[in-house]
Copies of this chain bind each other. A is one copy, B any other.
Amino acid sequence: MSRRVAARAHSMLEAMSASFAIAVDIGGTKVEAALVDENGAVLAGSRHRAPTGPERSAEELAASVRSALGGVLALIGPDTAVSPERIAGVGIGAAGPVNLVDSRVSPLNMPVWDDYPLSALVADTVHPVVPGVPVTLRLDGLCITLAEHWVGAASGHDNVMGMIVSTGVGGGLILGGRTVPGPTGNAGHIGHVEIGGHEDACPCGGSGCLEAVASGPRTVAWANAEGWVGGTGEELAAAVAAGDPIALRAVARSGRAIGRAIASAASLVDLDIVAIGGGFSHVSPLLFEHARAAVAERATFGYVTRVQVVPSALSGEGPLIGAAALIHRAEMVD
């Protein structure tokens, strides 16, 4: 193949898909990496993962990040389908707390990483293959919110809270069409907004926080204390579907708590829509009904009751898509 033909083939490929982001999502059980195109689609075959978790050393965690990234980087090169010029940057969504002042992370569930220079690790791994591209790190909750805004349930709205209700409760904020990272990068942590009437002790040191009331494990624990026999969110979901009265009350209690936290947040920042995902958000549609009913009680303030509360429209690729949005939608990322 002459050089001229090769150049023509390359620009046809570029026209097919002008650029990709390398997306990285680092959580308490695994790290994932993938290539995500400008439309928010994960490139087939590009998704790689490696284990994380509190039992691993700092160097083992770093090795997992390099391993997941390595799978992606193997796809990139002058002789492969994705040339380095087509990589627009690297977006990282990380479990928090984060420290955006110097791009470090201190994830609660990986305590050996205490102010760990994650962006530097990722840059050092990527730049030998793709020189000089930007590396942007944000809290995972913010990335999820960007994904909901880009390709999910919050599309078309300028004032969005994304929420994850799972083992913990996290989230992120987009206000006035721009992300709100906060000066340290930890804004959006709806799980530590308190709920009136609750005083459950929270690992944060406070009490009555949403996470301490309405996370999956806390909801199961409350149901257990009321006499329900079962151990998982899935079992609780089945019990709700079967009409178990304790399970129904457990979902009502957590759903109302979620709604009350949303009402507090909407009072404080004036939201259009809240998109809720995470494993425990699927326990029952009743969770959403109770949340909406709690919001509706704030009848004096139309700017609060107007907020829509909807399920996430993201698949399991959401965190990666959100990390990619840090690059592909950089114009709205503060």
Q: Which A residues lie at the B interface, using CB under 8 A? A: 97, 108, 158-159, 173, 175-176, 180-199, 203-209, 260-261, 263-265, 267-272, 297-304, 334
Contact A158 B187 (CB under 8 A): no
Name the contact of A303 in the complex, choosing from B97, B158, B197 (C-beta under 8 A). B97
Contact A197 B187 (CB under 8 A): no
With A206-B297, A207-B196, A207-B197 known as contacts, the answer to whether A182 contacts B303 (CB < 8 A) is: yes
Nearest B residue (CB) for A270 = B182
Query: Smallest CB–CB gap between A179 and chain B, Å?
Result: 10
Contact A268 B189 (CB under 8 A): yes
Bound Cα distance from A13 to B198, whole angstroms: 61
Please give, as numbers and ranges, the residues of chain B lying within 8 Å of A189 by CB-CB distance: 267-268, 301
Please give, as numbers and ranges, the residues of chain B lying within 8 Å of A299 by CB-CB distance: 204-205
Bound Cα distance from A97 to B302, whole angstroms: 9
Bound Cα distance from A301 to B98, whole angstroms: 10
Known: A175-B187, A176-B180, A187-B269. 18 other contacts (CB 8 A): A97-B303, A158-B183, A175-B175, A182-B271, A184-B270, A186-B270, A186-B303, A191-B267, A192-B264, A194-B263, A196-B196, A197-B197, A197-B198, A204-B267, A204-B299, A205-B301, A206-B263, A265-B268
Nearest B residue (CB) for A183 = B159
Please give, as numbers and ranges, the residues of chain B lying within 8 Å of A301 by CB-CB distance: 97, 186, 189, 192, 204-205
Contact A204 B334 (CB under 8 A): no
Contact A190 B260 (CB under 8 A): no
Contact B195 A194 (CB under 8 A): yes
Nearest B residue (CB) for A139 = B270
